[in-house]
């Protein structure tokens, strides 16, 4: 076998189609599975979640390729993943409904000095955590807050009544229930 043949090996047309089909199926499965897991943003992820994703990637490797070790096969699988990811991102950007379903929505916790207790208990945020978030933004009492929002990535943003610009980032992971 000459050098070029060894570098540019590729599967048959059927083989490439099979790899593409399997990869698409795996990608859809991964999205559904991760949605069921409940967490949607990296900010919410712990070390365990990262390990899970790395292991997932390895677990599905042979299912995607089915022992296809060719350069062409790998590139077909990579192309299918990139394309599908692009499609998901475009749909997320176009449709607010799909975005809300796949990414969750930000939740208002404090509005014009009033604590929205119902939203807080639904999201599992305690009053101590709320006060900690306010203090982080240099605010002493809820009365000074225009709005406080639990973002989809699990952080809390605070907009004071007199707009000043102060921001620290801290994750309240594990607080949001799936």
Partner 1 sequence: MTAVVYAARTLIVLVVLGIGLRLLGKREASQLTIYDLAMIMALSNAVQNALTGGRGDLSIGLASAGTIVVVTWVFARIIRRRPDLERRLVGVPTLLVYDGRPLRHRMRRELVTDDDLEAALRERSLSDARQARLVVLEVDGSITVVPRSEGD
List binders of partner 1 among 51-90 (CB under 8 A).
53-54, 56-58, 60-61, 64-65, 67-75, 77-79, 81-86, 88-90
Q: Rounded distance, CA 101 to CA 88, Å?
A: 12
Check residue 176 and report its DSSP letter.
S
Question: How does DSSP classify residue 115?
Answer: E
- Least Å from the CB of residue 79 to partner 1: 7
Closer to partner 1 by CB, 92 or 115: give it. Answer: 92
Q: Which residues contact 3 (CB under 8 A, 6 or more apart)?
A: none
CB of 115 to partner 1, least distance (A): 17
| Separation of alpha carbons 83 and 113, rounded Å | 46
- How would you classify residue 160: left for phi > 0, otherwise alpha for psi between -120 and 50, otherwise beta? beta
Angle at 47 between CA 171 and CA 78, to 5 degrees: 105
Among the residue ranges 117-125, 127-135, 145-153, 170-178, the one whose residues contact partner 1 (CB under 8 A): 145-153
Contact between 34 and partner 1 by CB under 8 A: the answer reads yes
Q: Which of 109, 110, 130, 155 binds partner 1 (CB under 8 A)?
A: 155
Q: Which residues, 83 to 122, sit near partner 1 by CB under 8 A?
A: 83-86, 88-90, 92-94, 96, 99, 102-103, 105-106
């Amino acid at each position: 076998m000459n050098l070029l043949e060894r570098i540019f090996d590729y599967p048959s047309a059927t083989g490439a189609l099979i790899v593409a089909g399997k990869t698409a199926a795996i990608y859809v499965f991964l999205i559904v599975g991760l949605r069921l897991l409940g967490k949607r943003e990296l900010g919410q992820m712990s070390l365990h979640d990262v390990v899970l994703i790395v292991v997932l990637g390895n677990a599905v490797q042979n299912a995607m390729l089915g022992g296809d070790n060719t350069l062409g096969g790998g590139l077909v699988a990579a192309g299918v993943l990139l394309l599908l990811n692009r499609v998901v991102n475009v749909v997320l950007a176009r449709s607010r409904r799909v975005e809300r379903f796949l990414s969750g929505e930000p939740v208002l916790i404090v509005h014009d000095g009033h604590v929205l207790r119902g939203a807080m208990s639904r999201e599992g945020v305690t009053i101590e955590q709320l006060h900690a978030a306010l203090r982080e933004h240099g605010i002493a009492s809820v009365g000074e807050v225009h709005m406080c929002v639990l973002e989809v990535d699990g952080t809390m943003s605070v907009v004071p009544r007199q707009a000043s610009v102060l921001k620290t980032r801290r994750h309240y992971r594990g607080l949001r229930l799936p």
